Amino acid sequence: MRTLLACFILAFSSAVTAQADFPSRPIRLVVTVPPGGAADFIARLVGGKISESLGQPVVVENRGGAGGTIAADAVAKAAPDGYTLLQNSITTRGVGPHLYAKLPYDPVKDFAPVSASGGISLKVSSRVLVLMPMTRNLPASIRDCAAE
């Protein structure tokens, strides 16, 4: 019984330690459009604020094409650890499923909302969303994403 209790404590204490260290490396913010437009500008502003808040760099990665499907697919396939976010418009979740017969991601199950910023959503939709790969529960903040 003591061994079982010790294993239980050890297992959960390492998870708590890992959560306290988030973020321990740069965060990737994937944008569904090429650089230079309004969405890119907003992503860089939001990324800068996230970086200031968390003390880690936020790398904005523009992956334009296929109505946002390329970027959304890359984020959907990323580890659901809070280090990869997607800023997009309604195209990847609202329009794409009706335009494309087969998407490489599930627009509902593969992403979890993170936040809304200004008139633009940072999932965050029909404005701009910042999405991350889906975890069990919706996180209250980016920092909570690692806790999942």
pLDDT at 7: 38
pLDDT at 20: 66
Angle at CA 87, nearest 5°, toward 20 and 48? Answer: 60
Quote the CA–CA distance of 29 and 137 in Å, as a whole number: 21
Angle at CA 26, nearest 5°, toward 125 and 36? Answer: 50
Strands 27-31 and 58-62: parallel
Give residue 79's pLDDT band: very low, low, confident or very high (50, 70, 90): confident
Region 69-90: mean pLDDT is 87
Region 55-80: mean pLDDT is 92
pLDDT at 67: 86
110 vs 117, which has greater pLDDT? 110
Asked if omega into 97 is within 30° of 0 (cis), the reply is: no
* 27 and 59 Cβ atoms separated by less than 8 Å: yes
Q: Is the pTM of this model over 0.75?
A: no
Region 36-61: mean pLDDT is 91
| Distant-in-sequence, close-in-space partners of 41: CB < 8 Å, separation ≥ 6 | none
